[in-house]
Amino acid sequence: MKNEEKVPHVFISYSWSSEDHKEWVLDLANKLMKESGVEVILDRWHGVVGHDRFEFMENSIKIADKVLVICDKDYCEKANTRRGGVGTETMIITPNIYNNTKQEKFIPISLGEENGEYFLPDFFKSRFALGWNYEDIDKSYKELERLIWEEPLLKPPVRGKRPNFDEVEVVESKKANKSIFDTSNEERVIWLLPRGFLIFNDITYRSYDSWSVVAHYYNYDGEWKQGTHYHDSYSKEWDRYLDIQFDKLSIPKADWLWSTTPLKFLMGLREVNEKIDIKEMVESAQKCDYPVFYFAPSEPIELPEVPPEYEFYYKTGKLRDIINKIEDNKRNLQFSSEELIEMAISVKHSLYLESLNYFGEQHPSIIFIKEVLDEYKGTISKEEILQWFKKVIAVLRPALNYEREVWIKQLNSKM
C-alpha cells in the first residue's frame, strides 16, 4: 500500500485591518482548502472563544508546515510596534525565523508597495517575498501554490560529472574558512556594535555644503537590516535627534548606547571643506579603543565576528530588549488596557523562554524570575500591569548585572 501524500498544514497570520481585508483572507483560505488540497489553520475557524489566544498562535505556528504572513500596511505597523494580535504573533514568528527553523517555512506576501518597496515588517526586510499582483491574481496564486507544495517552477539541471584534472593546485590560506563580505573599489569603514555592525561607504566630498555617505547596518550573520543615505539635504542639527537615526538603521534600542559614537563619527565627515584622510580618522578613533576599522579600495572585508568585548551584550540582547521595552513608561502609558494585556502576555512567555535560553534551567535566578512572571495571571488593570513590569525589571536586571560582572572578570583574566 502506497504512503499517502503528506498534506501541508498552513497557518495564516494577518491583521484585521478592515472587514474587506478579513473577507479577502477568508476567501484565500477557502480557495487553498478547496482547490489546492491544503489544510488551513485560521483564527476565524479554529480560534475558540475563552481559550488563550497566545497559546493558539504559538501552537498553530509550531505545527504548521508553512506560515503565510499577509503583509498590508496595517500589519507592518502593528508588527513593528508589537501591537495587538499581530504584535503577539511577531514575538513568536521572529525567533523562529532567526533560529533553526527552515527559512522556507515562512512565506511573506506583500499586498502593496510604498516608495518602490514591498509592505514588509522589519523582521522580513532582508527576505525574499511574494508580491501579490492584483492585475494577475491567477499568476500570484499559482506562485503561492508552488511555494506551499515546494514545487518550484524553475529547477536546476542535473549535475554533471567531476572533471578529470591532470594537476591539482592546492592553495593554503589562513583565511580559507572566512567569508568575504565586501570587495568594493572604494574606501569603507566598519564599526562593530553588540549585535551587528555599521559599514560606511559611498563617501564623497565636493564642498562644505555638498557631502555624502551611506550607512548600512548588518547583523553578524551578514544579513542587511537597513541603510540610509546621508547627504547635504540633512539638517545640520540632526545630531540632536540621534534616536531617529538609530531607528532608521534598525539598530535595536537596547544597543543605542554603543551607537552614538559611530554616528558622531559619521557626522564628522560632514564638517570638512576638502577631502580628508579617512584612514587617519579611523586610527584616531582606534586609539580610544573603539572597534572601528578602515578598508582601502578593493581591500576584501571578511564578515566580522562578535568581538570578545561584546559577547555578553550579544548573548543577552533579547533580554535587554525586553527590559528596554517594558521600562519605557511614557510609551506604555499611551497603550490601551487591551494592548498592555497583549504586551504582558507576550512578555511573560518570551522572557521565560529567553531566560531559560541564557541562564539555563539550573541557574538560581530562574526560580525568582519565574515567581515574578507567575504573578501575572491574566486580565488586570493598566496600573497593575505597569507595576508588574517594574517587578520584572527588579528581578531581571540584578541577575544580568551579576552575570556581567562574572563575564568581565573572565574577560580580564584572558588579557
The cell numbers describing 103, all together, are 527559512
Please give the pLDDT value at position 176. 46
Higher pLDDT, 133 or 222: 222
Please give the pLDDT value at position 190. 96
Please measure the distance between the N-terminal and C-terminal CA atoms of the chain and give it in whole angstroms: 66
Asked if residue 359 has pLDDT above 80, the reply is: yes
Do residues 381 and 340 touch, judged by C-beta distance below 8 A? no
Asked if residue 134 has pLDDT above 80, the reply is: no
Please give the pLDDT value at position 36. 92
3-state secondary structure of 339: helix
Locate the domains of the chain by residue range.
9-149, 190-303, 316-413
Please give the pLDDT value at position 318. 95
Asked if residue 98 has pLDDT above 70, the reply is: no
The cell numbers describing 315, all together, are 548573548
Please give the pLDDT value at position 76. 87
What value does the mean pLDDT take over residues 400-413?
91
Asked if residue 1 has pLDDT above 90, the reply is: no
| Long-range contact set of residues 222-226: C-beta below 8 Å, sequence gap at least 24 | 222/179, 222/181, 222/303, 223/126, 224/125, 224/126, 225/122, 225/125, 225/126, 225/196, 225/249, 225/250, 225/251, 226/122, 226/125, 226/250
Please give the pLDDT value at position 174. 41
Best CA proximity match to 262, nearest among 280, 246, 275? 246
Topology given in CATH for the domain delimited by 9-149: Rossmann fold (3.40.50)
Asked if residue 369 has pLDDT above 90, the reply is: yes
What value does the mean pLDDT take over residues 33-59?
85
What value does the mean pLDDT take over residues 288-315?
93
Asked if residue 305 has pLDDT above 50, the reply is: yes
Choice among 241-245, 270-274, 311-315, 406-410 with the minimum mean pLDDT = 270-274
Do residues 127 and 105 touch, judged by C-beta distance below 8 A? no
Please give the pLDDT value at position 287. 94
Do residues 411 and 310 touch, judged by C-beta distance below 8 A? no
3-state secondary structure 138-157: HHHHHHHHHHHHCCCCCCCC
Tally Cβ neighbours within 10 Å of residue 251. 24
Asked if residue 130 has pLDDT above 70, the reply is: yes
Each residue of 225-236: pLDDT tens digit?
Answer: 888 877 665 555
Tally Cβ neighbours within 10 Å of residue 152. 10
Tally Cβ neighbours within 10 Å of residue 117. 9
3-state secondary structure 25-59: HHHHHHHHHHHHCCEEECHHHHCCCCCCHHHHHHH
Considering only CA atoms, give the Rg of the chain.
25
What value does the mean pLDDT take over residues 98-107?
69
- What amino acid occupies position 244? I
pLDDT band, very low/low/confident/very high, at 344 (cuts 50, 70, 90): very high
The cell numbers describing 43, all together, are 483564527
Asked if residue 116 has pLDDT above 60, the reply is: yes
| Paired sense of beta strands 113-114 and 117-118, if any | antiparallel
Please give the pLDDT value at position 315. 96
